[in-house]
Amino acid sequence: MNYQRKSGILLHPTSLPGKYGIGTLGVEAYKFIDFLILSGQKIWQTCPLGPTGYGDSPYQCFSAYAGNPLLIDLDILIEDGFLKESDVNTVKWNEDAVEYGPLIEWKYPILQKAFTNFNTIDKKSLSYEKFNRFCLENNVWLDDYALFMSLKDYFNGKQWTLWPADIKMRNPEAVKKYTKDLESGIHFHKYLQFEFFTQWKKLKSYANNNSISIIGDIPLYVAFDSCDAWASSHYFQFDESLKPTQVAGVPPDYFSATGQLWGNPLYNWDQMIETGFEWWIKRIKSNLQISDIVRFDHFRGLCAYWAVPYGDKTAINGEWVKAPGDALFTAVEKALGKIPLIAEDLGVITPDVVALREKFDLPGMKILQFAFDSEESSSKNFIPHVYDKNCVVYTGTHDNDTVIGWYNNAKPIDKEYATSYLGIKDSVSFPFIKGAWASTAVMAIATMQDVLSLGSEARMNTPGVAGGNWQWRYKSERITSEITIKLKEITALYGR
């Protein structure tokens, strides 16, 4: 792809300010886009926008297609007449962190009330006609998803492998029976998706109309407890009882000495090939409808993936297994044309990964923090003066500490190198931003935490640590005119 030289900010919507316990797609999201405009940025990058499951990770969602109902803005529902102020002003929430458990218990009954009120409107009205049209246009995934979520509600949140055998195995008679019995719940979950995508698409249009592109994110794998694994089990490495034979992970690396045991089901690539990669084509097409560019997470898994025996406690005993990435992208391009992708090519990168990325002209990723690690032989690949143009440089990602956190905890030799290379004096974050913006990389991205010069307390995720992740939020007053002007000046200086 012929990308233009740009810069922007990585911020997941959950981190936006607001009074209802979590960032949403409402007024604060529009204010964030205004900040991007005023500071000269052209990109807003998010993590996956799907409904999160265990651990609250956007990389472990109940669906590869659906949106996260927790991001639905309640004030918009009030403006639309489906809620009252008295329905929502019942709790004073922590503005610094998302408290997912209490938030879910509080917000879903309110969303249920909005659905009840929506359901009373004239079925021939424009609003209801838009809802019906949304359901029809998205039935390729929405019917299965709404049934899946209704079944999870009915079975008290149990993962689908613990459901009764008839519906676990998707016996046609069982699917028919539960679809009838759970009709109201199915309708509710379809309504939540309608509201999410209505709000998201308006927000995305506001960004696009102001020359802001959205970079979305496709996790390579789907969650084990997901509609995708349940409804399309033949595409995964399951035995006859739908138990995984092997699961996903990565070997020991920069982040973890024992590797990372993700636990996601692995693909049955033979089945994918036999069907012409239809599942993948639909998934990528869907993501490109809500994003302008898509970051393909764990890209190297399309050349070879780390397969860990099901039941292992760590990822150490895994093995590399070849994957048909070349055939996949050939099929995708044949169906969809040249698509705007970024390849997350971090970790153990072998020549075949580089060859695949280059064959399809996909920009890879550079993490500026990695450039100064004296113990990593690959660090030389992350120093800006060796970049080629076709890459995206990040000060850090959702998986890294903030640059201030990294700097404060760096070994003296690494800190000295970064200080000398980036010209660090009093400030740490902005020399990193300046180093990224000055590079030849076609796109440069900083996390919002780095733009706000925050320390480790603002870290979004620590890989391999089960709790306390994905909670960080900022307060609107942290965005000052000084930060806005400084970022705009750096952006103009380096032609982004």
Q: Which helix (H) or strand (E) holds 323?
A: none
pLDDT of res. 57: 95
Does the residue 68 lie in any domain? no
Has residue 75 been placed in a domain? no
Tens of each residue's pLDDT in the chain, 496 residues: 789 999 999 999 999 999 999 999 999 999 999 999 999 999 999 999 999 998 999 999 999 999 999 999 999 999 999 999 999 988 899 999 999 999 999 999 999 999 999 999 988 899 999 999 999 999 999 999 999 999 999 999 999 999 999 999 999 999 999 999 999 999 999 999 999 999 999 999 999 999 999 999 999 999 999 999 999 999 999 999 999 999 999 888 766 788 889 899 999 999 999 999 999 999 999 999 999 999 999 999 999 999 999 999 999 999 999 999 999 999 999 999 999 999 999 987 899 999 999 999 999 999 999 999 988 878 889 999 999 999 999 999 999 999 999 999 999 999 999 999 999 998 999 999 999 999 999 999 999 999 999 999 999 999 878 789 999 999 999 999 999 999 999 999 999 9
- Is 298 within the bounds of a domain? yes
The answer to whether 344 is a known catalytic residue is yes
C-beta atoms surrounding 204 within 10 Å: 22
Please identify which of the residues 56, 144, 195, 344 carries the catalytic annotation. Answer: 344
**pTM assigned to the model:** 0.96
Q: Is 122 a catalytic residue?
A: no
111 domain-assigned: no
Residue 48 falls within a domain, yes or no? yes
Q: Would residue 79 show up in a list of annotated catalytic residues for this protein?
A: no
The whole-number pLDDT of residue 253 equals 72
Residue 362 contacts by C-beta under 8 Å, 6 or more apart in sequence?
A: 1, 296, 299, 341, 342, 343, 390
Q: Which stretches within 40-83 are classed as H helix?
A: 74-79
Contact 22, 70 (CB under 8 A): yes
> Is residue 150 in a domain?
no
d(Cα 368, Cα 391) in Å, to the nearest integer?
12
Structural domain boundaries, residue 216: 6-58+204-493
Does 51 map to a domain? yes
- Specify the pLDDT at position 254: 67
Do the Cβ atoms of 342 and 365 come closer than 8 Å?
yes
What separation in angstroms does the CA of 328 have from each of 63, 290, 394? 21, 21, 27
Instruction: Measure Cα distances from 296 to 41, 223, 459 in Å.
Output: 22, 16, 22
Q: Which of 34, 166, 352, 399 is catalytic?
A: 399
pLDDT at 255: 64
Annotated active-site residue in 225, 297, 373, 450: 297
Is residue 149 in some structural domain?
no
Q: How many domains does the chain have?
A: 1
CATH code for position 256: 3.20.20.80
